[in-house]
Amino acid sequence: MLYTVDEVMKYIEEEDAKFIRLSFRDVFGVQKNIAVMPGEVKKAFEKGVPINARAVAGFEDCPHGLLYLKPDPSTLTVLPWRPDSGRVLRMYCDVVTPDGEEYASDTRSILKKAVAKAREAGIEFRFGSETEFYLFRKDEEGNPTKIPYDSAGYMDVEPLDRCENIRREIDLTIERMGLVPERSHHESGPGQNEIDFHYGKPLKAADQMTTFKLVVSTVADRYGLIADFSPMPLPGEPGNGYHINIYATDREGNDVVSCAAAGILERIREITLFLNPTDASYARLGNNAAPDRVSWSSAGDTELLYLETYMGRTRAELRSPDASSNPYLVYALLIHAGLEGIARSMALPGEKDEGSQPLPGSRKEAGKLARESDFVKSVIPEGLITRYIRS
**CB atoms inside a 10 Å sphere around CB 169:** 17
Q: Are 110 and 328 in contact (CB under 8 A)?
A: yes
Q: What are phi and psi of 173, to 5 degrees?
A: -65, -45
pLDDT in tens, 12-38: 988 889 999 999 999 999 999 999 999
Q: What are phi and psi of 284, to 5 degrees?
A: -75, -45
Q: Kindly tell me if the per-residue pLDDT of 353 is higher than 70.
A: no
Q: Kindly tell me if the per-residue pLDDT of 83 is higher than 80.
A: no
Q: Find the mean pLDDT for residues 328-340.
A: 98
Spell out the domains of the chain, with CATH numbers in brackets: 5-103 (3.10.20.70), 114-390 (3.30.590.10)
**CB atoms inside a 10 Å sphere around CB 217:** 17
pLDDT in tens, 84-117: 778 899 999 999 999 999 999 999 999 999 999 9
Q: Find the mean pLDDT for residues 158-172.
A: 96
| Phi-psi label, residue 224: left if phi above 0, alpha if psi -120 to 50, beta otherwise | left
**Amino acid (1-letter code) at residue 380:** I
pLDDT of 315 reads: 95
Percent of the chain with pLDDT over 90: 89
pLDDT of 1 reads: 60
pLDDT of 161 reads: 96
pLDDT of 284 reads: 97
What's the mean pLDDT when you consider all of the chain? Answer: 95
Q: Find the mean pLDDT for residues 185-210.
A: 97
pLDDT of 310 reads: 85
Q: Are 273 and 386 in contact (CB under 8 A)?
A: no
**Nearest 5°: CA angle at 104, between 100 and 109?**
80
pLDDT of 120 reads: 98
pLDDT of 73 reads: 95
- Sequence-ordered strand ranges (E) for 139-224: 144-148, 181-186, 192-200
Q: Kindly tell me if the per-residue pLDDT of 216 is higher than 80.
A: yes
Q: Kindly tell me if the per-residue pLDDT of 302 is higher than 90.
A: no
- Alpha-carbon distance of 72 to 70, in angstroms, equals 7
pLDDT band at 169 (very low <50, low <70, confident <90, very high): very high
| 3-class DSSP assignment, residue 290 | coil
For the whole model, what pTM was predicted? Answer: 0.96
pLDDT band at 355 (very low <50, low <70, confident <90, very high): low
pLDDT of 4 reads: 86
